[in-house]
Structure 1
């Protein structure tokens, strides 16, 4: 298992971030958490990697909450599409595990049902 942690996939946009110094990216509090080891999706992660992802998500939530008292909720996605999309037939477009953590604020959407899809134009669930 330990040896697999160094796996990177040529041509993978997320694997290419390895030497960029950016493990956590954010824009207006929107954060993207990407495990370093390449895999097709989150189901390929080892338990220790899942645990590390959860710890980073919790830490980021704490950081953002401390910086911005207007945050009143959180939305997030597995694999940036909602739920868990594993495979092209399921709608997966980036074949590397990743999670979005998006702060939500009271009134930032007329209808917050549907989670993060409500804050990304054109993605509101029908």
Structure 2
């Protein structure tokens, strides 16, 4: 899709045939990365088995890159599916979020009860 930011030529840290990885421009933690399928579809549930394998491959490779550069103490792997779940860019993607000891973590996102 021509108006989709993830379908445009963004700077990539690494890629394979079916997806690519980059650092989030609005990280919630230092080293926050995105794993993005090259084919445009809105939710991860629409990915083919080949795309899921490619996503996993980059998830593991990107974790290795972040481990080497930043030595985090843990990770969140995060997927928002649909606007109600906090998805902002309507192109499926995974967040790989490094976490560090002493860092405040809110795994619920920004939603509050009653929102």
Tell me if both proteins adopt one fold, taking TM over 0.5 as the criterion.
yes
- 1:18-37 aligned at under 5 Å gives the runs 20-22=10-12, 23-26=20-23, 28-37=30-39
Q: TM-score, normalised by structure 1?
A: 0.67
After superposition, residues 27-106 of structure 1 pair within 5 angstroms as 28-69=30-71, 71-79=72-80, 85-86=81-82, 88=83, 91-106=86-101
Judging by fraction of residues, say which structure has more helix.
1
Q: Distance in 1 between matches of 2:108 and 2:85?
A: 18
Q: Which runs of 4+ in 1 moved over 6 A?
A: none
Unaligned runs of 5+ in 1: 1-8, 80-84, 118-122
Q: How many positions carry a matched residue from both structures?
A: 101
Partner Cα distance (2:97, 2:85) in 1: 23
Q: In structure 1, how many angstroms separate the alpha carbons of the residues matched to 2:67 and 2:108?
A: 18
Gaps spanning 5+ residues in structure 2: where? 13-19, 25-29
Per chain length, whose mean CA-contact separation is higher, i.e. which structure has more relative contact order (CA < 8 Å, sep 6+)? 2
TM-score normalized by the length of structure 2: 0.72
Answer with 1 or 2: which has the greater Rg: 1
